[in-house]
Amino acid sequence: MEVFSIYAIELENIWKVFPGNVQANCDITLRIGEGEVHGLLGENGAGKTTLMNVLYGLLSRTSGTVKIRGKEVNFKSPQDAIRLGIGMVHQHFKLIPIMTVTENVVLGAEPLYANLTANLKYWRPSINPALPTNFRSAEKKILRIAEENGLQIDPYAKIQDLSVGLQQRVELIKILYRDADILILDEPTAVLTPQEVDELFETLETFRKEGKTIILITHKLREPMTICDRITVLRRGELVGTVKRVDTSREQLAEMMVGRPVVFRVAKTPAKPTDTVLSVENLHVQDDRGLPAVRDISFEVKRGEILGLAGVHGNGQDELVEAIWGLRKVHHGEIYIEGERVTKYRPRKMRATGVGYIPQDRQKQGLILDFTTKENLILGGQHEPPFATGPRGFLLNALDITNYSNILVKDFDIRLRDIDEPISTLSGGNQQKVVAARAIGPNPKLLLASHPTRGLDVGATEYIHNVLIRMRDQGVAIFLISADLDEIRNVSDRIAVIFKGELVAIRTPEETDERELGLLMAGEQRAIPSEELTQ
Amino acid sequence: MTDSSKDLESEMGGSPPKTMDGSMTTFLGSMWEQITGFFKWHNLRRSLIQVGWAIMSIILALLVASLIMLGTGFNPIVAFSTLIGGALLQPDIIFWWATPLILTGLSVALAFRAGLFNIGAEGQLYMGSMAAAIVGFMAMLPIFVHPLLALLIGAVVGGLWAFVPAILKAYRGAHEVVTTMMMTYIAVPYFTTWLAAGPLRDPTLIQPQPQTPAIWPTAYLPELFGSFYLHFGFIIGILCVIGVWILLKNTVLGYEMRAVGLNEPAAEAAGINPKKMIVISLFLSGCLAGLGGAVEILGYYHRFYAGWSRGLGFDGITVAVLGANSPMGVLLGAIFFGFLRAGAIPMQTVGRVPAEMIDVIQGLVVLFVAAPKIVEWLAKREISWAQWIRKEPMKSLPIFLGSLFALIGSMILLAMAASMFGTLMVLDLIPDLPTLILTDPYMAMHVATLSLAIIFGVIGLYVFYALLRLEKRAIWAFLPLSIVLIILGVVNTLIFGGSLLIPLLVIGILGFVFAIWSYIVVVRQGVIFGGEF
């Protein structure tokens, strides 16, 4: 694996500058060998997806050279890249939910019956779309590809009926259908359970044995260390270095990504939980379609502890936290905060009772992007003193709002130019700090944190985790929901697992390991249900 | 949650916010911050950009209007000079026209800011004006009380007229565009007209007219500057501009309205009640429109005439769009439209250009102002071509506009061919065609033009289709197409006495420009469509 005789891909001095002098890629030179599994690592905004988009022909490069198998190329669109055998699976799948697997796979490369327009080469692109499609041959080819690569799939299934792991399989089949032998995978494991990740990596091993070249884009550290031959780290648009897996470690990679040594396990003293703050009893909640999303869940969170709820997206955790916060009606069951029955309380009253909420999607539910940072920091509390003043609290007290905002910005180290500028100008990490600051500012007794570090880089994640630990040490009860097992295991004092709306286990981090948690999250293993309530 | 002084001290390590006493001082402090905040660079920049857009749209609209005038035989220079001169000579009429527009503009803009489309300002305007007229003629009341009461009731009635759509939207999700429009249909041609022609008709008239009795003079709004037209309603309009500005920027209610308008899920998650906000916002919006109607009756008309407002409510929508939904913008936009209207009569009487040109100009201004906003709205909804226009306007616009022009051009050519063919059929010349072509040069010309028109009409259709697929051969066909358009335009008018010269000339020349531009963009630079969105 030392020297590669043929470089499959050579990127030389690639620059990509967006309007407004945004330098997404600065002078990047990267050579990837034939048959190599190469990891492209970096935080959000480091430029890895941009670089691959340039390679794939989705973006034009500002300057530099791209060579495929030694020949210089100039892609005008992904069609050119596909023709040379490059395939890309994106982070957000480009699938049409109501169409079948076959229809999605052939989209853009529909096979025709006979080459009816063979002699009209010049006019073919115009006429071909109007001719009938030969799905039969497509199905046969799909089944053949599935067999050869161990990617079982039903060609007639509709995408919307498939699990996320299977949908990703369709994306892989899509690029194999076009005879790709250079595969670019963008954050492929973001939405997979641990088991599905293992299956994916097995598939990638199969590809490697077939001699395909694979580029894996990720920001998670363990993946490149599992499967890649070499790893390239990007930071802020620049190439920090390329190392061989055998020569490096997670710590070194993290330091290259962030620019300083990174602590993985948050230093925390053992929890000293005291009285119960949140008590949920036999809760039943329905989802938007009226189907049960939370089925008979009971648990407690005590003052001074962090209860982490692990589960794959879509198993009821979002509905659960929305019901506690008051955004969603409780169908059955009770919720108590320090003995006070808060089941029917709406968000405004929950906030007044001493609960803080960090919503799961900061852009959709957490922040109002067109509002200034100042306005976002008081969102939820704008109707109360000190922010409201005048007769019947009608007027906004701009001076106190500004004071409060400045204090929070300082305490949470929020990097921005001006608190009066729209919050859309802040980075994702700083935006999340605003959401957290807003929830924590009023000193809540209970903090509901839903996916608080989603989409954040290592540095921002570390910061938020430290904030959570600090709050815990000051006696706040924290209910943490996350799909990131590492986060749950790092931060929580107790871990609960939710599967299809039911609480399948509660453990301490010492009692369990990632494998068991992964199985529980996938519903494989039913543990003894929650007599561990009173732990 | 009132122990705010203790809340932040030790945990956050900073000094707690001190609640200042004296709400007036804090309020004035807030106002001062707002005013100084306006001059901060990024705010200033945003306002300047919006003003710049508005001015650009106006200029573009005037240019296109000039083309239309030229095409229909009017002289744009005469038109504009009489328009501007006529308006400037009657400044009081400008502000008189602007008065109801300020209020309806504020009404629509306020609703927009809360995320609602109040299309029914016209109906609320009518109901408010009818209510004010009723209070005006019903009884004689003391001199300050009478108009104030009439205005108040007019505003409230306007608000109530928006209340039904508000409830329907908040609790049933009925789209307010439909419901407010329907309420307008009830109010304008039916309810108020019936009232004015029936139970509330002025009995003192010899010939029955659909109008109410005149209001008592105690209800009049005083005139300003001795003008026959301009009245105190203008001052009320300005006060409302200031009021709406304070509401939006400095009050809790305004904050909550804006929050719901910008991101309802986030506002709801933070504890704001969106239903309450929807109802209050539409109610206030209706009040403003009703007030707009009320001031006109009390200040100028002095009685309710059925159909007195020819679209003031809908013009309010235009004003709100032009003013980018901000109170100051609405004021400026209303004055601009007042200006146009004031100049319309002189333009017609002195310049002999029909006053309807004003409507054309108004419509074009809206088109140019709204088009980029529509594109942005579509882009947010992930429509890929809209996102492309947003990202690379210089590359995408010649493609889309060129395609459009090719389509229009080909339609005209095919129509021309059809009519020429029709002439041949009517004159029964077809059987003798071959001989005629050889003998009569005029006939030869006719048939040649006809054939060219058919061929290039079809080519135009192909260009329209293929250009949207970014095929290079479409561009290579586009260039000759535009040239042919120009030639045939000339031929049609100069030789056959048609009237297609100007339209084909315009389309041909613009098409030529787009063709060259598309060539540079697609062939030379290489377009990447469907990139990273």
**What is the DSSP code string of B426-494?**
HTT-STTHHHHHHH-HHHHHHHHHHHHHHHHHHHHHHHHHHHHTT-HHHHHHHHHHHHHHHHHHHIIII
Contact A101, A166 (CB under 8 A): no
Same domain, B178 and B215: yes
> Does B328 map to a domain?
yes
The string of pLDDT tens digits covering residues A249-302 is 888 888 888 777 776 666 677 777 788 889 999 999 998 888 898 999 999 999
DSSP state of A4: -
Closest Cα partner for B284 from B118, B416, B486?
B118
Distance CA A189, CA A211 (A): 22
Q: What are phi and psi of B415, to 5 degrees?
A: -65, -40
Residue B309 lies in a domain: yes
Question: Which of B6, B263, B377, B471 is the best mutation test for A, with the most CBs of A within 10 A?
Answer: B263
Residue B187 structure tokens: 């109010």
Q: What is the pLDDT of residue B20?
A: 43
Nearest to B26 among A359, A399, A442 (CB): A399
Average pLDDT over residues B338-360: 87
Residue B228 phi, psi dihedral angles, 5° rounding: -70, -30
**DSSP states of A337-401:** ETTEE-TT--HHHHHHHTEEEE-S-IIIII--TTSBHHHHHTTTTTTSTTTEESGGG-EE-HHHH
Chosen for mutation from A54, A79, A362, A365 (greatest number of chain B CBs closer than 10 Å) is A365
State the ipTM, two decimals: 0.73
Kindly give the residue spans of alpha helices, DSSP state H, lying in A210-295: 222-227, 250-258
Q: Is residue B208 part of a domain?
A: yes
Task: Report the share of chain A in percent with pLDDT over 90.
Answer: 24
The strand pairing partners of A332, in sequence order, are A284
Which residue, among B44, B252, B258, would best test binding to A if mutated, counting the most A CBs under 10 Å from its CB? B252
Domain closes at, from B314, B348, B370: B370
Report chain A's terminal Cα–Cα distance, integer Å.
Answer: 52
Coil, helix or strand at residue A63: strand
CA dist., res. A351 & res. A444, Å (int):
8
pLDDT higher than threshold 80 for residue A535: no
Q: Are residues B421 and B502 in the same domain?
A: yes
pLDDT > 70: percent of chain B: 89
Give the distance, in angstroms, between the CA of residue B95 and the centroid of all CA atoms in the same chain. 19
For residues B249 and B386, membership in a common domain is answered with no
Same domain, B381 and B361: no
Same domain for B363 and B436, yes or no, is: no
Cβ distance A425 to A416 under 8 Å? yes
SS (H, E, C) B167-228: HHHHHHCCCHHHHHHHHHHHHHHHHHHHHHHCCCCCCCCCCCCCECCCCCHHHCCCECCCCC
Please indicate whether residue B162 or residue A34 has the higher confidence score (pLDDT).
Answer: B162
**pLDDT at B7 > cutoff 70:** no
CB contact under 8 A, B251 and A76: no
- Among residues B7, B264, B3, B281, the alpha carbon closest in space to that of B117 is found at B281
A214 within 8 A of A185, measured Cβ to Cβ = yes
Residue A24: enclosing H or E segment and its boundaries? strand A22-33
pLDDT value of residue A385: 76
Take residue A515 and report the two structure tokens written for it.
């494998």
| pLDDT, tens only, A423-450 | 888 877 888 889 999 999 888 999 999 9
pLDDT at position B42: 67
Instruction: Kindly tell me the burial class for residue A230, based on how many C-beta atoms sit within 10 Å of its own C-beta (0-12, 13-18, 19 or more).
Output: buried
Residue B305's CB is within 10 A of a number of other CB atoms, namely 18
Is residue B532 a part of any domain in this protein?
no
Summarised one tens digit per residue, pLDDT across range A152-211 is 888 888 888 888 788 888 998 988 888 888 999 988 887 777 778 888 888 898 888 888
| DSSP tag of A158 | B
B188 pLDDT above the threshold of 80: yes
Q: Which residue has the higher pLDDT, B513 or B13?
A: B513
CA dist A115 and A112 (Å) reads: 7
Choice among A34-38, B28-32, B52-56, B91-95 with the minimum mean pLDDT: B28-32
Residue B248: pLDDT band by 50, 70, 90 thresholds? Answer: very high
From residue A473, alpha-carbon distances to A274, A434, A478, A533, B8 in Å are 12, 21, 11, 22, 16
Token pair 């300047």: residue: B48
Rg (CA), chain A: 26
Residues of A in contact with B249 (CB under 8 A): 396
Query: Is B27 an interface residue toward A (CB < 8 Å)?
Result: yes
Question: What distance in Å separates the CA atoms of residue B373 and residue B396, rounded to the nearest whole number?
Answer: 16
Gap between the Cα atoms of A77 and B529, Å rounded: 8
| Residue B1 in this model has a pLDDT that exceeds 50 | no
**B-chain residue closest to A53, CA distance:** B532
The amino acid that residue A420 corresponds to is: D
Say how far apart CA B510 and CA B533 lie, in whole Å. 30
Give the Cα separation of B210 and B189 in Å (integer).
12
Shared domain check, B354 and B291? yes
Instruction: Say what the pLDDT of residue A4 is.
Output: 54
pLDDT tens-place string over residues A314-360? 788 889 999 999 999 999 999 999 989 999 999 999 999 999 999 98
Residues written for chain B = 533
Max mean pLDDT among A408-417, B48-57, B87-96, B124-133 falls in B124-133
Angle value at C-alpha A164, between A158 and A167, nearest 5 degrees = 50
Q: How much is the pLDDT for B526?
A: 58
- CA dist B381 → A225, A368, B394 (Å): 39, 17, 21
Q: How far apart are CA A39 and CA A232, in angstroms?
A: 6
Are residues B364 and B390 part of one domain? Answer: no
Same domain, B341 and B382: no
B5 within some domain? no
- The verdict on B499 touching A (C-beta cutoff 8 Å) is no
Instruction: Measure the CA dihedral B96/B98/B99/B104, to 10°.
Output: 150
Q: What is the mean pLDDT of residues B111-117?
A: 93
CATH number for B141? 1.10.3470
- Residue A389 β-bridge partners: A395
Residues B132 and B148 grouped into a single domain? yes
Computed over every residue of chain B, the mean pLDDT equals: 83
Q: Are B396 and B341 in the same domain?
A: no
Q: Which residues in chain A have their CB less than 8 angstroms from residue B26's CB?
A: 389-390, 395, 397-400
Which residues in chain A are contacts of B269 at CB distance < 8 A? 325, 327, 347, 357, 359, 365-366
- Point out the domain boundary residue: B315, B338, B370: B370
pLDDT band at B529 (very low <50, low <70, confident <90, very high): very low
Peptide bond preceding A386 in cis form (omega within 30 of 0): yes
**pLDDT recorded at residue A121:** 62
Establish how many alpha carbons lie within 13 A of residue A279's alpha carbon, considering only the half-sphere containing its beta carbon: 13
| Tens-place pLDDT, residues B135-186 | 998 888 888 889 999 999 999 999 999 999 999 999 998 999 999 999 999 9
- The domain boundary, picked from B340, B370, B400, lies at B370
What does DSSP assign to residue A58? S
In-domain check, residue B10: no
d(CA B476, CA A84) in angstroms, rounded, equals 29
Predicted local distance difference test score (pLDDT) of residue B13: 32
**Beta A494-499 vs A502-507: how paired, if at all?**
antiparallel
pLDDT band at B113 (very low <50, low <70, confident <90, very high): very high
Q: Are A327 and A347 in contact (CB under 8 A)?
A: yes
C-alpha dihedral over B28, B33, B35, B36, to 10 degrees? 140
pLDDT tens for A51-81 read 988 999 888 888 899 999 888 888 888 888 9
Q: Which domain holds residue B406?
A: 374-525
Looking at residue B437, its pLDDT comes to 74
Which residues lie closer than 8 Å to A422 by C-beta, 6 or more apart? A369, A370, A371, A372
Q: Determine the 3-state secondary structure of B523 from DSSP.
A: helix
Residue B98 pLDDT more than 90? yes
A89, A168 in Cβ contact below 8 A? yes
**What type of residue sits at position B421?**
F
Of A352, A395, A400, the CB nearest to B19: A400
Residue B7 is assigned to a structural domain of this protein: no
Listed in sequence order, the residues at least 6 apart from B125 whose beta carbon sits closer than 8 Å to its beta carbon are B100, B104, B158, B289, B290, B292, B293, B309, B312, B313
What end-to-end distance do the CA atoms of chain B give, in Å?
Answer: 44
User: How many domains does chain B fold into?
Assistant: 2
Name B122's Cβ contacts closer than 8 Å, sequence gap at least 6.
B104, B184, B187, B188, B289, B309, B311, B312, B313, B314
Q: DSSP states of A89-155 as a string?
A: E-SS----TTSBHHHHHHTTSPPBSS-TTTT-TTTHHHHGGGSPB-HHHHHHHHHHHHHHHT----T
Q: Do residues B402 and B349 both lie within one domain?
A: no
Per-residue pLDDT at B413: 87
What is the interface size between A and B, counted as CB pairs within 8 Å?
169
CB within 8 Å of B196: residues ≥ 6 apart: B130, B210, B211, B212, B304, B305, B306
Instruction: With a cut of 90, say whether residue A128 has pLDDT above it.
Output: no
CA-based nearest residue in chain B for residue A51 = B532
**Mind telling me how many Å the CA of B19 is from chain A's nearest CA?**
6
Residue B81 exposed, middle or buried by CB count within 10 Å (0-12, 13-18, 19+): middle
Task: Calculate Rg over the CA atoms of chain B.
Answer: 29
pLDDT over threshold 90, residue A135: no
Are B330 and B270 members of one domain?
A: yes
Record: contact A370-B253, CB cut-off 8 A: no
Domain-located, residue B4: no
> In the prediction, which pLDDT does B378 show?
78
Which residue in B20, B266, B272 is closest to A399 by CB distance?
A: B20
Nearest CB to B8; choose among A364, A368, A407: A407
**Which residue from B124, A229, A189, B437 is spatially nearest to B429, judged by alpha carbons?**
B437
